[in-house]
Amino acid sequence: MSEPVRGRAIYEGKAKILYEIENNPEHLILFFKDDATAFNAKKRGSWERKGVVNSQISAALTTLVQKAGVPTHFVRNLSDREQLVKRVDIVPVEVVVRNYVAGSLARRLGMEEGGKLSQPFVEWYYKSDSLDDPMLLTQWILEFGYATMDELSAMKEYALTINRVVGTFFDSLGITLIDFKVEFGRSAGSIVLADEITPDGSRLWEKGTNRKLDKDRFRRDLGDVAETYEELLQRVEAALANS
């Protein structure tokens, strides 16, 4: 199998770049940068190997959810920070799954972080950095044509499956999946996961200590950001090697 040849960049986000592939309109190269942002890029930083760590964690966790029946854009790793992915049409609705009170939910309701919810809650947000990703009601999504009800149902089902699979995996590592954000896209008329699953988009707390193992270390200036990401990758890889 010949390796794909990188073409022009067609999208650059806060942490990733998408490149076209010469003579291959169905796939793209996803490149993970070392950049970090928070508060919709109002805070910026970077550290060495961040892109490598996120790419490897995401590939491992995406493979797990694929095996559980969630269709995804991920095809295979190309390098330590590049992935071959399917070209998709992104649905402009971000999906957040919450298992515990934390982050913006705690701020909105004036609650302390850490309270366990009675069940996982799924929330919708409009994908727009300029608007700070406002929360959406289902009726608004349908009214403005961002997605159909069938698409929303599939996105919710897949998000809850991701929550179960990834949550169970991290639980075996002594880590609690507090919440996470994912995006979906359309591929050949069907909904697929079209996002990374990494500590950038998840809250991960160590059991017993509530030590943050995610991007909150960067957001809240908790220190040891690069070391914590590397530790998480090592724990993920060790668990999969022993499974």
- What is the 3-class SS of 3-43, one letter each residue? CCCEEEEEEECCCEEEEEECCEEEEEEEEECCEEEECCCCE
Whether the predicted pLDDT of 216 surpasses 70: yes
Nearest to 97 by CA among 212, 202, 216, 168: 202
Nearest to 198 by CA among 180, 171, 216: 180
Residue 1 lies in a domain: no
Whether the predicted pLDDT of 183 surpasses 80: yes
Tokens matching residue 205: 């707390």
Residues 108 and 150 in one domain: yes
pLDDT of residue 1: 59
Residues 107 and 39 in one domain: no
Domain count, the chain: 2
Could you read off the pLDDT of 28-84 as tens digits, one per residue? Answer: 999 999 999 998 778 999 999 999 999 999 999 999 999 999 999 999 999 999 999
Residue 13 lies in a domain: yes
The CA–CA distances, whole Å, from 179 to 142, 148, 165 equal 25, 25, 13
| Residue-by-residue DSSP string for 132-190 | T--EE-HHHHHHTTS--HHHHHHHHHHHHHHHHHHHHHHHHTTEEEEEEEE-EEEETTE
Residues 81 and 97 in one domain: no
Whether the predicted pLDDT of 166 surpasses 70: yes
Residues 102 and 151 in one domain: yes
Residues 127 and 96 in one domain: yes
Percent helix, strand, coil in the chain (nearest 5)? 35, 35, 35
Task: Give the domain CATH number at 16.
Answer: 3.30.200.20
Q: Residue 172 — very low, low, confident or very high, per pLDDT cuts 50/70/90?
A: very high
Contacts of 8 by beta carbon, 8 Å cutoff, 6+ apart = 19, 20
Residue with tokens 């004036």: 110
Residues 130 and 11 in one domain: no
pLDDT of residue 63: 98
Mean pLDDT of 108-125: 97
Whether the predicted pLDDT of 150 surpasses 80: yes
Whether the predicted pLDDT of 118 surpasses 90: yes
Domain boundary among 43, 62, 86: 86
**CA-based Rg of the chain, rounded to a whole angstrom?**
17
Residues 164 and 49 in one domain: no
Q: Residue 88 — very low, low, confident or very high, per pLDDT cuts 50/70/90?
A: very high
- Percent share of the chain, pLDDT over 70: 100
Residues 219 and 118 in one domain: yes
Distance CA 63, CA 57 (A): 10
- Percent share of the chain, pLDDT over 90: 95
Residue 216 lies in a domain: yes
Domain boundary among 86, 120, 154: 86
Could you read off the pLDDT of 199-214 as tens digits, one per residue? Answer: 999 999 999 999 999 9
Task: Give the domain CATH number at 96.
Answer: 3.30.470.20
Residue 231 lies in a domain: no
Residues 79 and 93 in one domain: no
What domain range includes position 118?
A: 89-223
Stated length of the chain:
243
Q: Residue 243 — very low, low, confident or very high, per pLDDT cuts 50/70/90?
A: confident
Residues 33 and 149 in one domain: no
Whether the predicted pLDDT of 104 surpasses 90: yes
pLDDT of residue 162: 98
Residues 108 and 82 in one domain: no
Distance CA 232, CA 212 (A): 11
pLDDT of residue 42: 81
pLDDT of residue 61: 98
Mean pLDDT of 171-191: 97
Nearest to 11 by CA among 3, 20, 24: 20
Residues 13 and 120 in one domain: no
Residues 47, 224: contact at Cβ < 8 Å? no
Could you read off the pLDDT of 5-28 as tens digits, one per residue? Answer: 999 999 999 999 999 999 999 999
